[in-house]
Structure 1
Amino acid sequence: MDSTIATIALPAALAVIMLGLGLSLTVPDFTRLARIPGTVALILGCQIVLLPLVCFGLVLLFRPPPALAVGMMLLAASPGGTTASLFSHLFRGNVALNISLTALNSLTALFTLPLITNLSLAYFMSDGDTLGLQFDKILQVFAIILIPVGIGMLVRAKAEPVARALEKPVKIASVFVLLGVVSVAIYQERENIADYIVAVGLMVLLFNIASLTIGYWAPRLVGTGRSESIASCMEIGLHNTTLSLAIALSPALLNSSEIAVPSAVYGVLMFFTAAVTGVLLARRSAREGAAEAERTPT
């Protein structure tokens, strides 16, 4: 990938997205989680432990080339994305929970993502072709995430009208920058893209479906409310592919277009599967509501 695009544009896109997240956050968004510690622990456990294990199983089953295997594990280790809040809102999930979880997941991923990625590099690419995410590179990931979020939260705290006015333009700008970067990456890998899709397409789809399914049913099975379970479904199912793409493509980090492929495929696919999932959950909620109304005496 062109060094200017990978070095400047992609980290800038990620920083803009993190800034947009910060503009929507307040301290109560974090303290709110203290009121539902069990739900938060369950969702984080699914995100941090269960999803990487599911992904590892799929990788062992499909046996893709080493770089694509690492790309799958990098994707699995990435936190929920900011688009989870949008889908949660569309399908009547608990948006406040999404915002809080996205922030907490992003902070947690600063530790878990480098760990899982380095273990994957050691397991799948043990020939020494890559240096992995070393400590100085991990610090760069910290800076790209924490500094923009901190600036956004500071603006929100000191000048809330300004933060609200900036939220929409920042989100739009980040989408356009990201689309441009991904388009360039796809163009430069155009000769291999068909082989990549064949190699990871079904695996990515199954992982996406598993993420959405686990996200909804894990909290639902322990009695969590429907709106919180929908929020969990979108949070776990919509990964922050911008972060995983930035880590994969940046020359300062992994510098590999091939490692970025699973995240690029997932980043396109997840919008369609999330929409279908949301419609199915909405229909299920309507049926359950109608059945409950019939059981309620008039």
Structure 2
Amino acid sequence: MEASFLSAVILPIALAIIMLGMGLSLVPDDFQRVKKYPKAVSIGLVSQLVFLPIIGFIIAKVVPMQPVIAMGLMIVALCPGGVSSNIITFLAKGDVALSVTLTAFSSVITVFTIPVLANLAYQHFIGQTAAIALPIGATIAQIFLMTLFPIGLGMLLRQMFPKFALSLEKVTNRLAGVLLATIILLLIIREWQRLPDFLLQVGFGVVLLNFISMFAGFYISKLLNLNPPQQICIAIEVGLQNGTLAIAITAGLLNNPDMAIPAAVYSLFMYLTGFIAIRYGRKLAATNPL
């Protein structure tokens, strides 16, 4: 399979299906929850949209890695939480309503923040003249079509045909998992010769980004006196990003499969820390019942 077909067709379709599945699980009330607990939503969004990119930038500067790998790591740090975060929050006995709210809001906000911050990162890591590779207006439009449009379509279907939406959600979730696994496999096959070198560079950075962001989300929310389920939720939301979107941006919009390596490795590794979060969250829920 040609790389251009992967980046131009498979990636956008996979991401749109994942976002459609998210939209099918959302209702307008999910966006109203911010009125019920503004403190928790604010802490979660600031942790994800401000602290996470800062953590990613520091790691990309401190850990020795090629510029394209550093840029790929930054794209991961700029992405919103993924659909998996909602499922893992549920299994970890976290605040699922807060998780859905944070995922929904961050998905909307990052449509506008990713192009701006990615451009700054591109100028820093790749070079001033390369900034034209990510035009802000066109990038916002493309991310909108790959994320917000299918989310809106899914919410519309949920409102108009609730039973059909419920059955379709199950199909999209399974299909999304298969497509993501296929994308990662194709990236591994394509970069097989250089993969060991990439893993040496990106492996440590990905582990640091994943662990530090989860710890930051957890302890910031704990320090600000959120309850244990909210602490677990924010740790997971900040720690588990939308790897598919990161791959779509790097391999698709930026047309650089090398940049997609951090996102591919991250998409696999985050399930390990997700499992750890589930174990810890269940233990915390048993010892700190609301």
- The TM tier, using the shorter chain, reads over 0.9
Q: TM-score, normalised by structure 2?
A: 0.95
Letter of the structure 1 residue corresponding to residue 214 of structure 2? L
Contact 2:119 2:131 in 1 (8 A): no
How far apart, in 1, do the equivalents of 2:22 and 2:126 lie? 34
What CA deviation, in whole Å up to 9, does each residue of 1:15-49 have, x standing for no partner?
00000000001100000121111111111111111
Letter of the structure 1 residue corresponding to residue 47 of structure 2? C
**Counterpart in the other structure of 1:112:** 113
Cα gap change, 1:64/1:103 in structure 2, threshold over 3 Å: closer, same or farther? same
State how 1:12-161 maps to structure 2 within 5 Å. 12-126=13-127, 128-129=129-130, 131-134=132-135, 135-161=137-163
Structure 1 residue 95, shift from structure 2 partner: 1.1
- Return the index of the structure with the highest Cα Rg: 1
3-state SS, counterpart of residue 19 of structure 1: helix
Letter of the structure 1 residue corresponding to residue 240 of structure 2? L
**How many pairs align?**
288
How far apart, in 2, do the equivalents of 1:6 and 1:270 lie? 23
Contact 1:55 1:76 in 2 (8 A): yes
Contact 1:46 1:215 in 2 (8 A): yes
Structure 1 residue 287, shift from structure 2 partner: 4.0
Determine whether 1:269 maps to 2:269: yes
**Counterpart in the other structure of 1:214:** 216
Structure 1 residue 9, shift from structure 2 partner: 0.7
Structure 1 residue 160, shift from structure 2 partner: 0.7
How far apart, in 1, do the equivalents of 2:19 and 2:285 lie? 33
Greater shift, 227-236 or 265-274, is seen at 227-236
Contact 2:122 2:130 in 1 (8 A): no
**Any runs of at least 4 consecutive aligned residues in structure 1 with deviations exceeding 4 A, and if so which?**
none
How far apart, in 2, do the equivalents of 1:259 and 1:175 lie? 21
Contact 1:130 1:254 in 2 (8 A): no
Structure 1 residue 284, shift from structure 2 partner: 3.7
Letter of the structure 2 residue corresponding to residue 19 of structure 1? L
How far apart, in 2, do the equivalents of 1:191 and 1:72 lie? 21
RMSD between aligned residues: 1.5
Contact 1:19 1:148 in 2 (8 A): yes
3-state SS, counterpart of residue 82 of structure 2: coil
User: Could you list the runs of 5+ residues in structure 2 that have no partner in the other structure?
Assistant: none
How far apart, in 2, do the equivalents of 1:160 and 1:244 lie? 30
How far apart, in 2, do the equivalents of 1:152 and 1:32 lie? 19
Determine whether 1:2 maps to 2:23: no
3-state SS, counterpart of residue 193 of structure 2: coil
Structure 1 residue 53, shift from structure 2 partner: 0.9
Contact 2:16 2:147 in 1 (8 A): yes
Contact 1:93 1:231 in 2 (8 A): yes
Letter of the structure 1 residue corresponding to residue 278 of structure 2? G
3-state SS, counterpart of residue 132 of structure 2: coil
State how 1:165-180 maps to structure 2 within 5 Å. 165-180=167-182
Contact 2:236 2:277 in 1 (8 A): no
3-state SS, counterpart of residue 8 of structure 1: helix
Contact 1:212 1:274 in 2 (8 A): no
How far apart, in 2, do the equivalents of 1:93 and 1:284 lie? 10
User: Could you list the runs of 5+ residues in structure 1 that have no partner in the other structure?
Assistant: 293-298
How far apart, in 2, do the equivalents of 1:102 and 1:244 lie? 15
**Counterpart in the other structure of 1:163:** 165
3-state SS, counterpart of residue 111 of structure 2: helix
How far apart, in 1, do the equivalents of 2:165 and 2:216 lie? 34
